[in-house]
Amino acid sequence: MVRVAAAALLLLVGGLSGTALAQTPTAQLAQGVRAYQNLDYEAAASAISAALARTGPAALSDSERVRALVYLGAAELYGGRRDSAVAAFERLVVLDPKYRIDQLVFPPEVTGLFEQVRLTTSAAALVAPPVTRLQAPGDRLAMDLYAASFQQVDVRVTRPDGAPVRTLYQGGVGDSLRIAWDGRSADGTPVGSGQYIVRVDSHGADGRVVRSVGVPLDVTLTQRDTLPWPAPLPASSLKPEHLPGGSGLGALLTGLAGAAAVVALPSVVAGSGGRMGARFAVAGVLGLAGVVGLPLARRPRPLPENIAANQALQLGWQRQADSVRAENAARRRSPVLVIHAAPWRPVKSP
């Protein structure tokens, strides 16, 4: 009979243990909260601690861990274990520096102890958007820094091995602060593609770094597309700048006709036969004038209005080309950075 009773007891204990192990952390948390509400603080602390201890894919989410630590701290406090309550609240502050206990849910004893712990814990969180594209000169990766209490912090961009890239902020922060990074290193040049960390070091009252968190970044650098060169001015858009010249035949004929007329003038017009040489000289001049006027009459005549209009068009095209050249040079100096940011997490010094 004794052996049968012992075997039954072992089966009962084994069944209870199997049931407990089969519970999910979420179910254990819910069990612990019910025990707290029923004023069974010992059972509440036990169930919640078991839920927090579970790891792997079935572990509590961050929001569930926050809820678990609130109830664990309260259960430990009312169970007479103040040090354990302080430890639970400190874990909560580190997990979520922004968290504040709801005074409508928990009594002043709990909220008061939590505030004491929060105000003496140097902890910070850094939240960045999942994807940021830096392609214009004023673009920045904007991150929100949250602090549990007033503290001195250093915010730096580093390589995963700890090699410094750039310091973004050094100083005090009480509640929250906007941190921005333009994707450039300390010397002002864009960083290359690769892995980076935006690291926040929180200092204690003695100035030493007591806690560090970081946002992992995956940066991809690509050259920006350049603008196409402006199309050449079509010939149809330009006005003719000269009138075509004549054949020159008219000028030649006019000169020759004048010369012939002078030669054929009656002697009475010439005055005396002694002036025949003078008449031939005049005729020669007129004939020469006709010959000289031949190429002059063939030369095109400029149109000043059309020339000015064409120059204005060409100047406009040149200005457009200069603008494209300057813009392309600026784009080559400012490549596009695509930054993928992961959620913040605790980091250790390399």
Tens of pLDDT, residues 100-124: 999 999 999 999 999 999 999 999 9
Q: What percent of the chain has pLDDT over 70?
A: 77
Instruction: Name, in order, each residue with C-beta under 8 angstroms of 37's C-beta and a sequence gap of 6 or more.
Output: none
| Residue 303 banded pLDDT, cuts 50, 70, 90 | confident
| Residue 223 banded pLDDT, cuts 50, 70, 90 | confident
Rounded to 5 degrees, φ, ψ at 140 are: -140, 150
Residue 315's pLDDT is what?
92
Domain with CATH 2.60.40.4070 in the chain: 124-224+335-346
- State how far the alpha carbon of 154 is from the alpha carbons of 98, 123, 168, 179, 294, in Å: 19, 12, 8, 11, 89
Q: Tell which residue, 237, 254, 256, has the closest CA to residue 312.
A: 237
Task: Report the C-alpha gap between 6 and 18 in whole angstroms.
Answer: 18
| Residue 173 banded pLDDT, cuts 50, 70, 90 | very high
Average pLDDT value for residue range 66-95: 97
Residue 85's pLDDT is what?
97
Residue 250's pLDDT is what?
54
Residue 8's pLDDT is what?
43
| Residue 227 banded pLDDT, cuts 50, 70, 90 | confident
Residue 123's pLDDT is what?
95
**Any idea which fold 23-119 has?**
1.25.40
Q: Tell which residue, 107, 90, 98, 113, has the closest CA to residue 63.
A: 98
Please tell me the pTM assigned to this model.
0.64
Domain with CATH 1.25.40.10 in the chain: 23-119
Rounded to 5 degrees, φ, ψ at 141 are: -85, 110
| Residue 92 banded pLDDT, cuts 50, 70, 90 | very high
Q: What percent of the chain has pLDDT over 90?
A: 58
Give the tens place of pLDDT for each residue, 239-288: 888 887 655 555 555 555 555 554 555 544 444 444 555 555 555 554 55
**Any idea which fold 124-224+335-346 has?**
Immunoglobulin-like (2.60.40)
Task: Report the C-alpha gap between 315 and 310 in whole angstroms.
Answer: 9
Average pLDDT value for residue range 83-90: 97
Residue 4's pLDDT is what?
41
- pLDDT above 80 (res 158): yes
| Residue 16 banded pLDDT, cuts 50, 70, 90 | very low
Instruction: Name, in order, each residue with C-beta under 8 angstroms of 213's C-beta and a sequence gap of 6 or more.
Output: 124, 125, 126, 199, 200, 202, 344, 345, 346, 347
More confident position, 260 or 61: 61
Average pLDDT value for residue range 39-67: 95
> Can you read off the two tokens belonging to residue 47?
């169930």
Which has the minimum average pLDDT: 276-290, 312-326, 334-348?
A: 276-290
SS3 262: helix
Residue 268's pLDDT is what?
43
